[in-house]
Amino acid sequence: MDLHELTILKALELIQTRAISSTELTKAVIDRIDKVENKVNAYITLVPEEALISAAMADQEIKQGNFLPLGGIPLAIKDLICTAGLKTTCGSKILADFIPPYDAGLITKLKQAGAVIIGKLNMDEFAMGSTNEHSAFKNTHNPWDLSRIPGGSSGGSAAAVAADMCLGAFGSDTGGSIRQPASHCGVVGMKPTYGRISRFGLVAFASSLDQIGPLAKSVGDCALLLKTASGYDPRDSTSVNKSVPDYSDLKANGLKNLKIGIPKEFLAVKGIDADVLRVINSTIETFKALGAEIIDISLPHTKYSVAVYYVIAPAEASSNLARYDGVKYGFRSDEAENLDQMYSKTRSKGFGTEVQRRIILGTYALSSGYYDAYYKKASQVRTLIIKDYKQAFNLCDLILTPVTPTPAFKIGEKIEDPLQLYLSDIFTISANLAGIPGICVPAGFSDKGLPIGMQLLGSHFQEDLLLNAAYNFEQATDFHRKKPDL
């Protein structure tokens, strides 16, 4: 096996037994990027020299017997998580040259854990999109079929992990932005409970929904990344002060006593691809064989989750993105004659079409006369969706659903019809509205050979239960072993 293909856990073992060095591993990953980046387009910024310096430092630590949790492991970061001194563009022209003066809470933790940061990954502008076609800089291609989208908004993250262009990555998930690209690219992706990982230094999209999470080649890697990233941060007022369990303590002992609920509403969604249904049905059989009990449940209000989301997320975004005014940082139009013009010319030139569409939608939903009909109504239905999940978790431990209605589609296929694209978020969005954790695990392939993931959802702070079920599933199947042919 080539070094760039290693999982994090295997690489740590080899580094700690001095079979390989972090420098060798990091060089192998850089070589891999050199070879396939022109096909995949996963990175916005690459910092190979800095990565090799960090790798050399990690090697020094290891020589002295200091084994850090991610010591010497090359990781990559979605380009909306602030990295001190390293450009953070958010996939937007308005932040094209923005160099953060500080590290995000996540980055501080990763550096303390000895990780090597190799670059910043492509994304839909401000995380608004599910194809990466809304990046201001480039289209990322799906490593399994370069004519297809990798998913989004963490599309660069999922594609880079799938193509072995990093050992693991961190993205963000506001309505499915980690789980959906993970499914399309055949990797593991997790959205933890809201508040589990600090959002300090995560560029805000919709603050009540945004959550950072890992993308990885295996469930074991995902657990280690989550464990390293989790924990209280007083700089994020929504960070939850709750101890972090040892997520890496995974046991393939079967799943007796585990009750998994299948929401009938999810399988009744119009337009689910036959391949996706086949994969979900075979996933159910695998869980039964592992000893889990499968029961039918109902989440009656989740069919409204897309409508709720496309009021709440744009409303929060319209407020969050008001800060981009061309004054203190970011792009400024130099065509303005007065302050008002400076604001509007800066914002119109700096933001792409999808971001402007959502700002207008959100501003409208919050505007006088429409607030009750849209924002208040959506927030009330959100309460009912949360109640649905609470009731469901009285009956079952975890919930199994598809991640997306179809496998990855062609680049350009849906870009002209935003509503059709929004509707494909139906399986992932309600977890963000309810703040619960969800994980996507590779679960099969379409007839055309495209990866298809399955999603497990758990109650708040049940990441350990989710990971253990996902691990048992992974150990009983071999979908995660297949690699794209690049």
- The reply on whether position 86 binds other proteins by CB under 8 A is no
DSSP string, 157-220: HHHHHHTTSSSEEEEEESSSTTHHHHHHHT-EEEE--TTSB--TTBPPSSTTT-EEEEEESSHH
Choice between 377 and 483, CB closer to other proteins: 377
Contact string 231-260 vs other proteins (x = CB under 8 A): ---x--xx-x--------------------
- 92: annotated active-site residue: no
Pairing verdict, β 259-263 and 293-297: parallel
Tokens at 78, concatenated: 């979605």
Cβ count within 10 A of residue 475: 17
Of 21, 135, 153, 198, catalytic: 153
CA dist 87 and 45 (Å) reads 7
347 binds other proteins (CB under 8 A): yes
Q: Which residues pair with 295 in a beta bridge?
A: 261
Between CA 215 and CA 76 the distance in angstroms is 10
> Measured between alpha carbons, how far is 302 from 304 in angstroms, rounded to an integer?
5
Does position 112 bind other proteins by CB under 8 A?
A: no
Catalytic residue among 135, 172, 177, 424: 177
337 near other proteins (CB under 8 A): yes
Selecting among 78, 93, 109, 120, the annotated active-site residue is: 78
Name which of residues 144 to 163 contact other proteins (CB under 8 A): none
- Interaction residues for other proteins, span 431-470 (CB under 8 A): 433-436, 460
Cα–Cα separations (whole angstroms), residue 353 to 1, 94, 281, 320: 44, 13, 39, 17
> Applying CB under 8 A, which of residues 336, 415, 476, 486 lies at the interface with other proteins?
336
| Residue 158 CA: distances (Å) to CA of 144, 196, 252, 296, 364 | 11, 21, 26, 31, 33
Instruction: Give the range of 133-141, 286-294, 368-376, 407-415 binding other proteins by CB under 8 A.
Output: 368-376
Q: Which stretch binds other proteins (CB under 8 A): 160-168, 169-177, 360-368, 394-402?
A: 360-368
Which of residues 2 and 340 has its CB atom nearest to other proteins in the complex? Answer: 340
Cα separations (Å) of 315 from 32, 74, 357, 363? Answer: 41, 37, 11, 6
Residues in 183-212 at the binding interface with other proteins, rule: CB under 8 A: 193-195, 208
Stretch that binds other proteins, among 112-120, 124-132, 212-220, 323-331 (CB under 8 A): 323-331
179 makes contact with other proteins (CB under 8 A): no
282 is known as an active-site residue: no
User: 264 an active-site residue?
Assistant: no
Catalytic residues: 78, 153, 177
